[in-house]
Chains A and B, each alone.
Chain A
Amino acid sequence: MKQNPEYLINEMSPQLHRGPDWLKAMRRSNRLGFNESKLPPRGIHLWRYTDPRKFMLAVDQARDSDFAGECDTVASTETEHVKKGRLAAFVTDLGGRDINVLVSPKGLPNGVTICSLSDASEKHFDLIREHLYQLINRKTGKFEAMNGALWNDGIFIHVPDNQIIEKPIHLLREAGRENSAAFPRLVVIVGRNSEITLIDEYGGGSPDRSNGISFSNGAVEIFGAEDSRTRYVSLQRYAPAMNSYFTHRAKLKQNASMLTIPLVFGGELCKQSFGVELAGEGASSKMYGLLFGTGRQHFDNHTLHHHSAGKTNSDIDFKVVLKDRALSAYTGLIRIDNKARTCEAYQENRNLLLNKGTRAETIPELEILNEDVSCSHGATLGSIDEESIFYLNARGIDKSTAVRMIVGGFVQSTLKLVPDDLKERLSEFVATRLEAI
């Protein structure tokens, strides 16, 4: 791995010279944002549990030969699904180098665009300029600026007004193997009264620490216009020796609704932030997360629901299951602005600790700036209670099966919200992680 002692993004980075002049200027501004900002201080709670230096890696961009085998397996089944019309489209993004779009034979509704960000910067420049960097930019944070400067290529999805895409669109983003870095980026614009379901899958990375680790720093911006309906599933299943950083931001206009499902399984160190701004009256956001940690995995997740308009509502349920010596830190913030009247907001974080040696931290925060709200949050941490196990034992079910049943029940309510073709794979993810019990 190439270590750059000053941790500066230098002018030599080829990405800085790509795209139209506007884009070059934005990249440079983000580069400046990264180079000039200090590392986030550990004192503030968002960085209390994760050392920012772990993301200060100067590594090579992913090379062609670097992609893992699982990528091909997923690609071939998903290609089948597209052909059979079970998916509206399947997009592969190999380390930000090749963006390939495969569309179902039935085609996409009128005017829907799925292409690479670089294509979009030429063909849909106005849309790009209006949306790219709007929600995630150098002001969001140091590592967001890093992605803003260095993303190589990304995915652009635009659904014009009044179009419903019935089947899910699956995005497969593959990071390179050891000693590589990936900077995936995605912009999604959902028009008025339109509907979309996205599965955003992140895989790849170094399978073995002894050969070196890999790094990924992703950014996703989603815009929901009036009355739009968006479902966004983020599946993170990186290889064991991956340090990943990920920022998701969405902005909802009047009566727009959004369902966000963060599914978190992979990597050695993973810090993610999911944020939705409810910026128009009647907007509603639901976020149902599921995290399963094993071994010595370290997870640090943040959710943000920012109510900047009145009559909006939000709901978060973030479930965590930990095994072996895994650690999960969860911080969640609900902020309701002074002018955002008559809002409802709920937040729940449940942590199931399956054995000694696991660690869970939770900081569910509320900042409420007016009285006309109904708001609550809850957090629990604990092991499976002995009585439940005893109850199942007494009915002839052995202990490890009982544990599996109870964990299965715990994650069920989240899994059932996931689009069908993903459900099976997810159940497998959970099952393999429970096998060793």
Chain B
Amino acid sequence: MSESIQRQNKDLQALNQDYASKYGFHDPVDYFHKGAKGLSHEVVEMISRMKKEPSWMAEKRHEALDIFYSKPMPNWGNNDLLGEIDFDNIYYFMKPIEQQQDNWDDVPEYIKKTFDRLGIPEAEKNFLGGVSAQYESEVVYHSLREDLAKQGIIFLDMDSGLREHEELVHEYFGSVIPSADNKFAALNTAVWSGGSFLYVPPGIDVKVPLQAYFRINAENMGQFERTLIIADKGSRLHYIEGCTAPVYSTNSLHTAVVELRAHEDSYIRYTTIQNWSRNIFNLVTKRASAYKNATIEWVDGNLGSRLTMKYPCVNLLEEGAKGEILSVAFAGIDQHQDAGAKMIHAAPNTSSRITSKSISKDNGRASYRGLIKIHKGAENCKVSVECDALLIGDDARSDTYPTMEVDNDQVSVEHEARVSKVAEEQLFYLTSRGLSEDDARLLIVNGFMEPFTKELPLEYAVELNRLIQLEMEGSIG
């Protein structure tokens, strides 16, 4: 056993470079359009004009900007870090190329280079049904397999979605997350650009995952993608997104809004692996509405960023709806992963499960912040929440802030959390079988993450293991 682990380890080491050289590169770019720094109604106007949007969207943006101005910063989470965000020192819109491409060869060389280094076309060839790559504010490359397009599946970037399917977008945009939901949802609504628009018609089962990749390249860049996914009656889909950014000395901001609508009997799985560099503020609002007998699964991996505040939510609105959230967070040096999950049971016979795993290393801080709400009349609901935290290092910090609100008696709600370090006995067991302490620790951490990694497509699972190995490097003691 130990031999194969060592071999695997060697392979991994060969692949192993640190974030700075692997994802942390940034390519010099001549932007087709680079707006001014700072946020104002003029910037919003400019974005809207450049996109030649319908007037209702422009109105929505301006309205949202006023909401953003009027709302205070959240007073929970990490106030010190949130206070570091300088909204006036951020580019709210950058357009790298004039036209979006659907042939990889037509994508400009410098952007192609970036995504080639990240392995995007490779992945597409191998197993993806469709892929969308966003560079700064705009989607630069987009494709959908022909057979899927023929079935009536719409997979576009959000801007094209708005242009080509205005009615659908008008109906659903902001219906799950209204602008006034929170300060950052308002900010996103005001300056959103890019993101994915996905519609699967009734009864269609999309057997291959659909993928988007988000990349921030410039310094002080804000990325505000907006994603809307609609699964019509009885359809099934799996959507995956990945995120990276280069390492700069000043901070960038990523504020996305993701809305999912799962109609009767449909199924949506939404997988995220975010590995932002350590100077990104990642403040994302993700929410899904599940109707009769629909299932929503959020699979959420948070590795990078300076501060992540992200609480995927499922509104279980009709009988038989099911929600599942599976998340991992890895908080290394100076990182705070404030992640969690929300389940709102608004109908009887709904069920949900939350599994949250976090690792805090060095002075990293991982927090689980959750909400379970069971409304009056939502009878026979079943909820189970499990939080596991692993602490590595003397200054590591782990917090658990679950909230459970139950307004009727015919329910079963269970919450459990455990916090511990890597057990000495396990380390001893593995080292006595010839593994170095580092390898043993890595093996234990991988085992701890296993329930999560096994839910990922193979490519992503390998990538995640590799990323964890990067994070774990030299973590003795």
When the two chains form their complex, are residues A363 and B420 in contact, meaning their CB atoms are under 8 A apart? no
When the two chains form their complex, are residues B389 and A379 in contact, meaning their CB atoms are under 8 A apart? no
Least Cβ distance of A382 to chain B in Å?
4
Q: Which one of B1-9, B281-289, B404-412, B444-452 contacts A?
A: B404-412
When the two chains form their complex, are residues B421 and A373 in contact, meaning their CB atoms are under 8 A apart? yes
Q: Mark B394-409, 1 if CB is under 8 A from A, else 0.
A: 1111111111111111
Q: Mark A91-108, 1 if CB is under 8 A from B, else 0.
A: 000000000000000000
Q: Which chain A residue shows the least CB distance to B409?
A: A353
When the two chains form their complex, are residues A382 and B397 in contact, meaning their CB atoms are under 8 A apart? no
When the two chains form their complex, are residues B407 and A359 in contact, meaning their CB atoms are under 8 A apart? yes
User: Which residue of B397, B411, B415 is within 8 Å of A368 (Cβ)?
Assistant: B397
Given A370-B394, A380-B415, A365–B389 Cβ distance below 8 Å? no
- Give the residues in chain A near B409, CB-CB below 8 Å: 353-358, 382-383
Least Cβ distance of B266 to chain A in Å?
29
Please give the number of chain A residues whose Cβ is less than 8 angstroms from any Cβ of chain B in the complex: 37
Please give the number of chain B residues whose Cβ is less than 8 angstroms from any Cβ of chain A in the complex: 35
When the two chains form their complex, are residues A356 and B413 in contact, meaning their CB atoms are under 8 A apart? no
| Cα–Cα, bound, A351→B401 (Å) | 18
Does B417 make an interface contact (CB < 8 A)? Answer: yes
Interface secondary structure of B, over-half rule: strand
Does A406 make an interface contact (CB < 8 A)? Answer: no
When the two chains form their complex, are residues A379 and B421 in contact, meaning their CB atoms are under 8 A apart? no
Does B209 make an interface contact (CB < 8 A)? Answer: no
Does A43 make an interface contact (CB < 8 A)? Answer: yes
Interface residues of A in 307-364 (CB under 8 A from B): 338, 351, 353-364
Does B392 make an interface contact (CB < 8 A)? Answer: yes
User: Which residue of A43, A338, A373, A383 is within 8 Å of B395 (Cβ)?
Assistant: A338
- Give the residues in chain A near B202, CB-CB below 8 Å: none
- Give the residues in chain A near B392, CB-CB below 8 Å: 371
- Give the residues in chain B near A374, CB-CB below 8 Å: 419-420
- Give the residues in chain A near B250, CB-CB below 8 Å: none
User: Which residue of B398, B406, B408 is within 8 Å of A351 (Cβ)?
Assistant: B406
When the two chains form their complex, are residues B393 and A381 in contact, meaning their CB atoms are under 8 A apart? no
When the two chains form their complex, are residues B414 and A378 in contact, meaning their CB atoms are under 8 A apart? yes
Does A127 make an interface contact (CB < 8 A)? Answer: no
Given A376-B416, A376-B417, A381-B411, A359–B406 Cβ distance below 8 Å? yes
When the two chains form their complex, are residues A370 and B420 in contact, meaning their CB atoms are under 8 A apart? no
Q: Which chain A residue shows the least CB distance to B368?
A: A366
Interface residues of B in 151-177 (CB under 8 A from A): none
| Cα–Cα, bound, A354→B401 (Å) | 27
Does A60 make an interface contact (CB < 8 A)? Answer: no
Given A375-B418, A375-B419, A382-B413, A368–B406 Cβ distance below 8 Å? no
When the two chains form their complex, are residues A378 and B391 in contact, meaning their CB atoms are under 8 A apart? no
Given A367-B399, A368-B419, A375-B419, A381–B391 Cβ distance below 8 Å? no
Does A416 make an interface contact (CB < 8 A)? Answer: no
Does A131 make an interface contact (CB < 8 A)? Answer: no
When the two chains form their complex, are residues B411 and A366 in contact, meaning their CB atoms are under 8 A apart? no
Q: Mark A377-421, 1 if CB is under 8 A from B, else 0.
A: 111111101000000000000000000000000000000000000
User: Which residue of B396, B412, B417, B420 is within 8 Å of A377 (Cβ)?
Assistant: B417
Does A369 make an interface contact (CB < 8 A)? Answer: yes
- Give the residues in chain B near A375, CB-CB below 8 Å: 418-420
Least Cβ distance of B80 to chain A in Å?
15
User: Which residue of A338, A351, A357, A371 is within 8 Å of B421 (Cβ)?
Assistant: A371
Q: Which chain A residue shows the least CB distance to B403?
A: A363
- Give the residues in chain B near A357, CB-CB below 8 Å: 408-409
When the two chains form their complex, are residues A378 and B395 in contact, meaning their CB atoms are under 8 A apart? no
| Cα–Cα, bound, A264→B420 (Å) | 33
- Give the residues in chain B near A354, CB-CB below 8 Å: 409
- Give the residues in chain B near A53, CB-CB below 8 Å: none
Given A361-B403, A376-B419, A381-B404, A368–B413 Cβ distance below 8 Å? no
Least Cβ distance of A363 to chain B in Å?
5
When the two chains form their complex, are residues B403 and A368 in contact, meaning their CB atoms are under 8 A apart? no
| Cα–Cα, bound, A382→B401 (Å) | 20
When the two chains form their complex, are residues A370 and B391 in contact, meaning their CB atoms are under 8 A apart? yes
| Cα–Cα, bound, A371→B441 (Å) | 14
User: Which residue of A43, A44, A364 is within 8 Å of B402 (Cβ)?
Assistant: A364
When the two chains form their complex, are residues B413 and A365 in contact, meaning their CB atoms are under 8 A apart? no
When the two chains form their complex, are residues A361 and B391 in contact, meaning their CB atoms are under 8 A apart? no
Does B79 make an interface contact (CB < 8 A)? Answer: no
- Give the residues in chain A near B394, CB-CB below 8 Å: 338, 370-372
Does A2 make an interface contact (CB < 8 A)? Answer: no
| Cα–Cα, bound, A365→B407 (Å) | 21
Does A45 make an interface contact (CB < 8 A)? Answer: yes
Does B75 make an interface contact (CB < 8 A)? Answer: yes
User: Which residue of B393, B417, B420 is within 8 Å of A373 (Cβ)?
Assistant: B420
- Give the residues in chain A near B408, CB-CB below 8 Å: 353, 356-358
Q: Which chain A residue shows the least CB distance to B360?
A: A371
Interface residues of B in 104-154 (CB under 8 A from A): none
- Give the residues in chain B near A43, CB-CB below 8 Å: 75-76
- Give the residues in chain A near B404, CB-CB below 8 Å: 360-363, 379, 381
When the two chains form their complex, are residues B403 and A383 in contact, meaning their CB atoms are under 8 A apart? no
Least Cβ distance of B377 to chain A in Å?
9
When the two chains form their complex, are residues A381 and B406 in contact, meaning their CB atoms are under 8 A apart? yes
| Cα–Cα, bound, A370→B398 (Å) | 8
User: Which residue of A353, A356, A365, A367 is within 8 Å of B397 (Cβ)?
Assistant: A367
Q: Which chain B residue shows the least CB distance to A341?
A: B394
- Give the residues in chain B near A364, CB-CB below 8 Å: 400, 402, 415, 417
When the two chains form their complex, are residues A365 and B421 in contact, meaning their CB atoms are under 8 A apart? no
Q: Which chain B residue shows the least CB distance to A351?
A: B406
When the two chains form their complex, are residues A377 and B400 in contact, meaning their CB atoms are under 8 A apart? yes
Given A356-B410, A364-B415, A379–B402 Cβ distance below 8 Å? yes
| Cα–Cα, bound, A365→B326 (Å) | 20
Q: Which chain B residue shows the least CB distance to A364?
A: B402
When the two chains form their complex, are residues A373 and B399 in contact, meaning their CB atoms are under 8 A apart? no
Interface residues of A in 55-109 (CB under 8 A from B): none
- Give the residues in chain A near B395, CB-CB below 8 Å: 338, 369-370
Given A351-B406, A380-B414, A372–B421 Cβ distance below 8 Å? yes
When the two chains form their complex, are residues B396 and A361 in contact, meaning their CB atoms are under 8 A apart? no
- Give the residues in chain B near A373, CB-CB below 8 Å: 391, 419-421
Least Cβ distance of B364 to chain A in Å?
11
Given A356-B408, A381-B406, A363–B401 Cβ distance below 8 Å? yes
- Give the residues in chain B near A365, CB-CB below 8 Å: 399-402
Given A361-B404, A363-B401, A379–B415 Cβ distance below 8 Å? yes
Q: Which chain A residue shows the least CB distance to B401?
A: A365
Least Cβ distance of A87 to chain B in Å?
40
Least Cβ distance of A319 to chain B in Å?
15
User: Which residue of B397, B406, B418, B420 is within 8 Å of A360 (Cβ)?
Assistant: B406
Q: Which chain B residue shows the least CB distance to A385?
A: B412
| Cα–Cα, bound, A24→B170 (Å) | 67
- Give the residues in chain B near A44, CB-CB below 8 Å: 75-76
- Give the residues in chain A near B396, CB-CB below 8 Å: 370-371
When the two chains form their complex, are residues A361 and B400 in contact, meaning their CB atoms are under 8 A apart? no
Q: Which chain A residue shows the least CB distance to B366?
A: A368
Least Cβ distance of B426 to chain A in Å?
14
When the two chains form their complex, are residues B406 and A353 in contact, meaning their CB atoms are under 8 A apart? yes
Least Cβ distance of B378 to chain A in Å?
12
Least Cβ distance of A45 to chain B in Å?
7
22 contacts between A and B (CB under 8 A): A45-B401, A338-B394, A357-B408, A359-B407, A361-B406, A362-B402, A362-B404, A363-B403, A364-B402, A365-B401, A367-B399, A368-B419, A370-B397, A371-B394, A376-B417, A377-B415, A379-B413, A379-B415, A381-B406, A381-B413, A383-B409, A385-B412
Residue ranges of A at the interface with B (Cβ–Cβ < 8 Å): 43-45, 338, 351, 353-383, 385
In the complex, besides A365-B400, A368-B397, A385-B412, 5 extra interface pairs with C-beta distance below 8 angstroms are A358-B409, A364-B415, A365-B402, A379-B404, A379-B414
- Going nearest first, the 9 A-B pairs with the smallest beta carbon separation are A371-B391, A353-B409, A381-B413, A375-B419, A366-B400, A371-B421, A379-B415, A382-B412, A376-B418
